């Protein structure tokens, strides 16, 4: 119990809870649109943004050289997500665009961090997550962004569902399809940047997608899938962080492994139980 | 298509749909070479033609799903802006009934209540969704996963999604394709009911089948041009066959004094 009084522990649990709840909201829209891997492409662009922020911080002579890393990541991630969305809506092969951003992002990140006088080791925290180094400032930024994701992602759920479920019909109803598509892209970019701190760029997609994949075994409704995935995401991150308080394990990797285990378990259980009760 | 008819003496009522010389290109190739179509209030128009004739492209242009290069489209006398399109109920081809995440029929139909200035569902959503599903006799499927329904059931859900908007102009793209007989009958019944209430219907079909008695007029497309306007082709499917040789565009004489019950079916 005493351990919960530790400010660092409080910060880690709080960030874990916020990210665990927020990430599956966007994940549900991405899975709906069959773009589950968007997080990987945009995540790597965010990494280039981290390095660019680092470079800008060094050039400006800031005392804390990585002060601009997260703002850099947000800007790059949004730009990357918007590019993918524009190419997708033009009918280009989105997977190829994502693959190019994937390689381009990580290569640019490595080059820029070198130019900023840093080493690739400085990027490791962003690649694999570094929840054990969060400051109160990080917590407030994460909270603000997570609240924005929840408010927009849940507040416009019906319209975002309509657009991701059947774009052609949505367009016929007069819904502002392009604007709503951009909202999904920007929400995804913000989510990726926020989640990067917890699980790292390499595993950021997992936090958005795994809870949705698990929830899909348990309900047939879109709304319930989203709410359930938020709960599952929160439980996974809290469980992962809690275990690493006493065990010397990497939190981001543990959270993802717990998610994969939960996915395999629910798959096995639901197929054993059979497909009775098709209605949610 | 707008040839003078005896009714021209009195002021013509505003057409539910008026599409004039619509040209559409997809990926640089012109698919529609100036297609026109008019539907009066309460009229049921069948849009026929073979594969690749441009039927679906035409209705997609009408509902604003794809942009047009030229031509005019007006809905009840107003330019087809997103706002004017709120009077349209559109039933696309049933290829998109399921996304990557399961959704219930209730959720899918509720999405039909959104629009240009309606980004959030109205308060009476549940009651209206129930009503629309009942109109197609699928109210008991409200909580079912759409992707697990049969083709006919999915189609009825998609039509309910269009009907929940209480449209004045219903546009359906191949609603009978891959649909079981029971659903075909339910669909024909629902469309007949709408027609009685003055709703205009434009329906893309390969074969008239259960819809025969409802159709007032047929417009046949071939290679992006109108080749026939008037009674539904008597030899069903002949105009629709890809190999059918349309040497010239022809227009059937307008039926003298349009029968409000629609034309008698072939055979």
Task: Tell me the Ramachandran region of residue B224: left when phi exceeds 0, alpha when psi lies from -120 to 50, beta otherwise.
Answer: left
User: ipTM score of the complex?
Assistant: 0.87
Residue A277 pLDDT > 50: yes
**Tens digits of residue pLDDT in B36-65:** 999 999 999 999 988 889 999 999 999 998
Nearest Cα to A164, choosing from B64, B100, B257? B100
Task: Provide the shortest C-alpha distance from residue A101 to chain B (in Å).
Answer: 23
Q: Is residue B253 part of a domain?
A: no
- Cα dihedral B93, B95, B99, B104, rounded to 10, equals 60
Q: Which residues in chain B show pLDDT less than 50? A: 1-8, 97, 236, 239-267
Residue of B nearest to A166 (CA): B96
Nearest Cα to A45, choosing from A109, A96, A94? A109
- Residues of chain A with a CB closer than 8 angstroms to some CB in chain B: 28, 31-34, 36, 91, 155-156, 158-159, 161-162, 164-166, 168-176, 212, 216, 219-223, 225, 278-280
Cβ proximity of A93 and A101 under 8 Å: no
Percent of chain A with pLDDT over 70: 97
Helix (H, G, I), strand (E, B) or coil at B84: helix
- Cα dihedral A43, A234, A165, B132, rounded to 10, equals -170
Query: In angstroms, rounded to a whole number, what is the distance separating the alpha carbons of residues A22 and B241?
Result: 53
Percent of chain B with pLDDT over 70: 81
Q: Enter the pTM of the model.
A: 0.85
pLDDT, residue B129, reads 95
Point out the residue among B65, B104, B120 whose CB comes nearest to the CB of A171: B65
Fold topology of A2-273 = ABC transporter involved in vitamin B12 uptake, BtuC (1.10.3470)
Query: In angstroms, rounded to a whole number, what is the distance separating the alpha carbons of residues A162 and B95?
Result: 15
pLDDT, residue A54, reads 87
Angle in degrees, CA B12, B17, B22, rounded to 5? 115
Q: How many domains does chain B have?
A: 1
User: For position B121, which CATH number holds?
Assistant: 3.40.50.300
Domain residue limits at B44:
6-240
**Tens digits of residue pLDDT in A36-62:** 778 888 888 998 998 999 889 888 887
Q: Is residue B256 part of a domain?
A: no
Cβ proximity of B23 and B70 under 8 Å: yes
Cβ proximity of A102 and A227 under 8 Å: no
**Tens digits of residue pLDDT in A234-268:** 999 999 999 998 999 988 889 999 999 999 999 99
- Tell which B residues from 184 to 243 touch A, by Cβ distance under 8 Å: none
Residue A105 pLDDT > 70: yes
Percent of chain A with pLDDT over 90: 48
Q: Is residue B234 part of a domain?
A: yes
């Amino acid at each position: 119990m005493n351990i919960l009084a530790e400010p660092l522990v409080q910060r880690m649990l709080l960030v874990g809870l916020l990210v665990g709840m927020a990430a599956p909201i966007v994940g549900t829209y991405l899975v709906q649109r069959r773009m589950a891997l968007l997080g990987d492409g945009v995540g790597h662009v965010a990494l280039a943004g981290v390095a660019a922020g680092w470079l800008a911080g060094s050039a400006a002579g800031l005392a804390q050289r990585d002060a601009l890393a997260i703002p850099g990541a947000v800007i790059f991630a949004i730009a990357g997500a918007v590019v993918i969305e524009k190419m997708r809506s033009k009918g280009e092969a989105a997977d190829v665009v994502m693959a190019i951003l994937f390689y381009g992002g990580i290569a640019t990140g490595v080059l820029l961090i070198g130019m900023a006088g840093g080493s690739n080791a400085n990027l490791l925290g962003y690649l694999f997550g570094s929840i054990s180094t969060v400051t109160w400032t990080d917590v407030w930024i994460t909270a603000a962004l997570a609240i924005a994701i929840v408010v927009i992602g849940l507040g416009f759920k019906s319209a975002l569902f309509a657009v991701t479920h059947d774009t052609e019909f949505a367009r016929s109803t007069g819904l502002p399809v392009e604007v709503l598509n951009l909202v999904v892209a920007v929400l995804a970019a913000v989510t990726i940047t926020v989640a990067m701190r917890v699980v790292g760029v390499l595993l950021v997609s997992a936090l958005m997608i795994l809870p949705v994949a698990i929830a899909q075994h348990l309900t047939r409704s879109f709304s319930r899938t989203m709410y359930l995935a938020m709960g599952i995401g929160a439980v996974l991150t809290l469980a992962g962080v809690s275990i690493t308080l006493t065990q010397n394990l990497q939190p981001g990797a543990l959270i993802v492994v717990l998610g994969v285990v939960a996915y395999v378990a629910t798959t096995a259980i639901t197929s054993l139980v059979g497909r009775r009760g098709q209605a949610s | 298509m707008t040839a003078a008819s005896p009714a021209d003496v009195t002021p013509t009522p505003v057409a539910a749909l008026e599409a004039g010389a619509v040209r559409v290109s997809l990926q640089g190739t012109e698919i529609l070479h100036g297609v026109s179509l008019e539907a009066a209030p309460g009229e049921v128009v069948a849009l026929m033609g073979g594969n690749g004739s441009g039927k679906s492209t035409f209705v997609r242009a009408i509902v604003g799903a794809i942009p047009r290069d030229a031509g005019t489209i007006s809905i009840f006398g107003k330019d087809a802006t997103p706002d004017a399109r709120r009077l349209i109920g559109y039933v696309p081809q049933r290829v998109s009934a399921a996304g990557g995440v399961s959704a219930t029929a209730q959720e899918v139909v509720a999405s039909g209540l959104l629009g240009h200035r309606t980004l959030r569902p109205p308060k009476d959503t549940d009651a209206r969704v129930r009503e629309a599903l009942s109109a197609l006799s699928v109210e008991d499927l409200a909580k079912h996963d759409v992707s697990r329904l049969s083709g006919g059931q999915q189609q009825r859900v998609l039509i309910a999604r269009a009907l929940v908007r209480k449209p004045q102009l219903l546009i359906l793209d191949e609603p009978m394709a891959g649909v079981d007989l029971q659903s075909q009958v339910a669909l024909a019944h629902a469309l007949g009911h709408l027609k009685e209430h003055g709703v205009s219907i434009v329906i893309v079909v390969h074969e008239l089948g259960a819809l025969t008695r409802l159709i007032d007029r047929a417009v046949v497309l071939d290679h992006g041009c109108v080749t026939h306007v008037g009674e539904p082709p008597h030899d069903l499917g002949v105009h629709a066959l890809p190999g059918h040789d349309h040497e010239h565009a022809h227009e059937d004489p307008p039926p003298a004094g349009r029968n409000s019950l629609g034309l008698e079916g072939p055979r």
